[in-house]
Each structure stands twice: as C-alpha cells, then as structure tokens.
C-alpha cells in the first residue's frame, strides 16, 4: 500500500536524481579524495557534504554526502557494486540510499497520542518524508485519529503474559509492509531482545525524561520528588538494555518549585513531541550514524 501525498510526490520528483551516501571508517588520508573521484567518474555532482573525525589516536571518520546524477535509477546497481571496491580498501561501513525511494515507517503507540499527532501532522504537511503504511496500538484510543489520515490501524492488545505471541504478529506485519523504520511514539510496552535484534538501530523510542536520569517508569514523579529545575525528553535507538540505546536527540525546559507532577507531565509532552519528530526526521534523512553506543548526527 502506498500513501504518498501531493507534497511527498513533489519532493520525490524534485529529488529523483539524488542520492545519499553515509560512511564510517578508520581515519586515514585519501578517503574524501577517493569518494569524490568515484562520484565524478560516475557522472555525479556533490551537492552537500558533511564530515567529522573523532579527535584521538586511531580516530574514526564519518561522512554524509548528497549527490546528483542524471538517470540515477539506471545507475543504482552499478554505483552500489562499484563502490564496494573503495569500501573494502578503507574498511568502511556504508549506506547508499536514493531519494526517489521513500522509507516506510511503522508507528507504535499506546494511550497518549501527543507524539503520534505531531508525527502525523508533520507527515501530512510533507515535512516528514516517509510512507506510513500502518499504526499499531495496544489500545483503541488512536483508531479515529489514524484512520482520519487514511492510514490502516491495527489494534493488538499486549501485556507481558502474551508478549511473544503479540510480537510474532507485529513482526509478520513489519515484513508484510516492508517496514524500514519503527517509531515508538509513547508505546508503553517493553520489547523483547528478539524483536530488537530484528531491526538493529531501526527502532526509535521517546523517553519522557532527560536520560540517563530517571530511567524506566514514572520519571516525572521521581523528578518532582528530587526537585529538578530542568525537565527533558530523550529520543534514542532501542537496544536490549532498557532506555540505554544510542541517543539521537534531547531537549529540556526549565521548571521550579511551583510546578507539580501534572505540570511536569504537561510541559514534558511539549518537549517529547519536538524531540521525537527531530529524531525521526534525521533518521529518514540519513543524518544519523551509530558508533558504539553513541550517534554522530551529520
């Protein structure tokens, strides 16, 4: 199923001859020169380039390049095949994506819908360049909202007693819809290690605190008890360790003694919406490289 709106179609038409290349490898001379020469020899023109090197002995080099080439669809396989020689030479981890192909995102949600609303509004406006083939929830609360956008909604009750059966159904749907990215928009269920391993560095969560502080449940209550002066939210990739995956984006807001727990939750929801939206957008734009348990956002 395709749910490309008018804004997305315009974007795809405008960028039909563009691609993105993400690279990480041990730092050494000649990397940029070799990639630039490769692109030139394949009739490509670099339109955007960002790089970073870790500042220590035997550092790691990171690079994001956006390039254009006429009839790029016809050159896809050749570009991928021929780049392997450079990748092997420099021991690269690399990813090459083409802008005429939209990634496909599944959104998981529970009862709180503020993050889901933000993502859907951004998607409708053409500011979140992805297809959203389905939304999955363990509650019916989001059905009306989701279906109003013309997106299929799947109600799958979930709890720890039936977690394996639930995830088997969810994984079948992920395969059926050819999902590239999973977004947990306040999906209040812990995923099993098996589920996480099926989508490494492709599950984005929003945690309603400024990690690593207040990991786990009820962070606002614990933050209020601690008397914090800043509250925040953290978007990160999901790993098998709860709330300890590579952090993509964070933000904070100032609070004081006059704010009770409900105030913190209300203010926190504002932060969660924008933090998750930015993290998802950066992933879709191939700006994030996972390095050890950190991210490089280019």
Q: Is 243 annotated in the active site?
A: yes
Mean pLDDT of 90-95: 97
Domains of the chain by start residue, with CATH: 17-98 (3.30.70.260), 104-297 (3.40.50.170)
Pairing of strands 104-109, 93-98: unpaired
pLDDT band, residue 1 (cuts 50/70/90): very low
Q: Is the pLDDT of residue 74 over 80?
A: yes
Angle (nearest 5°) at CA 205 between 200 and 208: 155
* Choice among 180, 243, 283, 286 that is catalytic: 243
d(CA 146, CA 116): 9
Enter the pTM of the model. 0.92
Pairing of strands 93-98, 60-69: unpaired
Is the pLDDT higher at 124 or at 209?
A: 124
pLDDT tens profile 189-233: 999 999 999 999 999 999 877 656 777 777 778 877 888 888 889
Mean pLDDT of 162-168: 94
> Which two three-digit tokens encode residue 246?
């590579």
pLDDT of residue 9: 82
Mean pLDDT of 28-44: 97
pLDDT of residue 131: 95
d(CA 298, CA 145): 33
Q: How far is CA 284 from CA 11, 72, 252, 278, 287, in A?
A: 14, 20, 23, 10, 8
pLDDT of residue 212: 61
> Which two three-digit tokens encode residue 280?
């998802």
């Amino acid at each position: 199923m395709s749910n490309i709106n008018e804004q997305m179609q315009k974007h795809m038409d405008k960028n039909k001859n563009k691609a993105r290349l993400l690279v990480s490898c041990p730092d050494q001379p000649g990397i940029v020169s070799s990639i630039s020469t490769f692109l030139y020899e394949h009739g490509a023109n670099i339109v955007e380039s960002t790089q970073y090197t870790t500042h220590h002995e035997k550092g790691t080099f990171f690079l994001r390049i956006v390039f254009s080439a006429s009839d790029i669809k016809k050159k896809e396989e050749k570009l991928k095949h021929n780049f392997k020689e450079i990748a092997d030479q420099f021991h690269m981890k690399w990813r090459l994506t083409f802008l005429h192909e939209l990634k496909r995102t599944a959104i998981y949600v529970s009862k709180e819908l503020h993050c889901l609303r933000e993502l859907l509004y951004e998607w409708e406006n053409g500011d979140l360049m992805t297809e959203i083939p389905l939304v999955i929830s363990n509650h019916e609360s989001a059905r009306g909202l989701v279906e109003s956008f013309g997106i299929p909604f799947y109600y799958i009750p979930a709890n720890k007693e039936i977690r394996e059966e639930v995830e088997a159904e969810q994984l079948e749907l992920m395969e059926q819809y050819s999902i590239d990215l999973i977004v947990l928009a306040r999906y209040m269920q812990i995923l099993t290690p098996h589920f996480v391993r099926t989508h490494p560095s492709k599950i984005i969560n929003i945690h309603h605190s400024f990690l690593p502080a207040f990991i786990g449940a009820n962070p606002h209550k614990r933050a209020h008890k601690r008397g914090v002066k800043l509250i925040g939210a953290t978007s990160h990739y999901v790993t098998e360790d709860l709330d300890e995956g590579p952090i993509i984006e964070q933000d904070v807001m100032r609070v004081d003694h006059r704010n009770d727990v409900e105030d913190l939750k209300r203010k926190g929801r504002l932060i969660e919406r924008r933090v998750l939206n930015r993290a998802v957008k950066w992933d879709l734009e191939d700006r994030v490289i996972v390095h050890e348990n950190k991210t490089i956002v280019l």
